[in-house]
Amino acid sequence: MSALSVFAPAKINLALHVTGQREDGYHLLDSLVAFSPIGDRLTLRAAGDFSMAVSGPEARGVPADHSNLVLKAATLFAEHTGMTGSVAFHLEKNLPAASGIGGGSSDAAAAVRGLLQMGFGDAPAVQARVLGMIGGALTRLGADIPMCLSPVAQRVRGVGEDLTPIQLPPLPCLLVNPRVEVATPAVFKALRQKDNSPLPAPPTFATLQECIDWLAQQRNDLQAPAIATAPVIATVLETLAALPGCRLARMSGSGATCFALFATPAEARAAETALRAARPEWWCAEGTLGDQRAASAPRPAFNVV
């Protein structure tokens, strides 16, 4: 198989509790994540050397050298699996960079899924064994990468290595980024209390409203320090909360992307239309959060760049 296309969905932290900090500086998290049908797309083509090209509406400023997580993950994959041959990657960048929705990590996870398919076929047992070989190294490369390998709703604990799939109802969602990059280290540095309470065990939700009501009782402990770093985030949250039909507005990850949840996809689409008219300078996209595993499965690529 010489060319593959792999979807890299946005990762949304519906709740994010910071529960401690290890001696090595890594923060301990307890987070509930879900995945969006909005994301980047990565194309892999057999080549003589690892290389990368970037295009798309959000490509500006995205590195195409070995500082990109895609090439870092590919290099790590080759080192740990003994993979022969190399790959040319083409990244269609649709998600804003450094925005708290795991774009770079999801791109790296897409690279790993594609490399697994190219090198080891689609046998689940073989792929699971290979991932077991490199899982720890991937976590050290980026704490969000392991959760993005299987883009389904999960409770994520520790430094990103403790993953528990959970069941969530489909969540109509609007994502908004005010075009401000927020540095994650600066947000964690501004976090005053780092030993906060963990998430309670997520129950089984009978309805979407039950899920939203439960989420509303949780937190993103990084939201306040992110607002202190980039006050426009507070403006985004206020704007989202005022949209007709908004049931919950919160920041994702370390920011600056925020999300609003709605009862129906139609309400989310109407909110996107209204917000694009009112704030054309902001990035926004709507889609229903849910299981993105099928959408992100590697498939043959056509019209390879």
Structural domains for the chain: 3-164 (3.30.230.10), 169-289 (3.30.70.890)
Catalytic residues: 11, 144
Is 101 one of the annotated binding-site residues?
A: yes
Looking at this protein, which amino acid is placed at residue 204? T
Determine the pLDDT at residue 58: 97
Determine the pLDDT at residue 31.
Answer: 98
**pLDDT band for position 273 (50/70/90)?**
very high
| pLDDT average, residue stretch 255-280 | 98
Quick one: pLDDT band at residue 254, thresholds 50, 70, 90? very high
| Encoded amino acid at 298, one letter | P
Would you say 71 and 52 are in contact if contact means Cβ atoms under 8 Å apart? yes
Instruction: Dump pLDDT digits (tens) for 76-110.
Output: 999 988 888 889 999 999 999 889 999 999 999 99
Of the pLDDT bands very low, low, confident and very high (cuts 50, 70, 90), residue 293 is very high
**The token pair that represents 12 in the structure block:** 């949304």
Secondary structure (H, E, C), 214-227:
HHHCCCECCHHHHH
Mean pLDDT, to the nearest integer, of 184-199? 94
The distance of Cα 87 from the centroid of its chain, to the nearest Å, equals 23
Q: Is residue 96 a known part of a binding site?
A: yes
Question: What does the pLDDT read at residue 303?
Answer: 62
Mean pLDDT of all residues in the chain? 94
| 86 marked among binding-site residues | no
Least confident of 38-42, 120-124, 253-257: 120-124
Q: Check the annotation: does 59 bind a ligand.
A: no
Q: Would you say 265 is a known binding-site residue?
A: no
Asked whether the CA dihedral 219, 103, 295, 297 is positive or negative, the reply is negative
pLDDT in tens, 14-40: 999 999 999 888 899 999 999 999 999
226 is in an annotated binding site: no
Q: Are strands 154-158 and 248-251 parallel, antiparallel or unpaired?
A: unpaired
Residue-level pLDDT at 258: 98
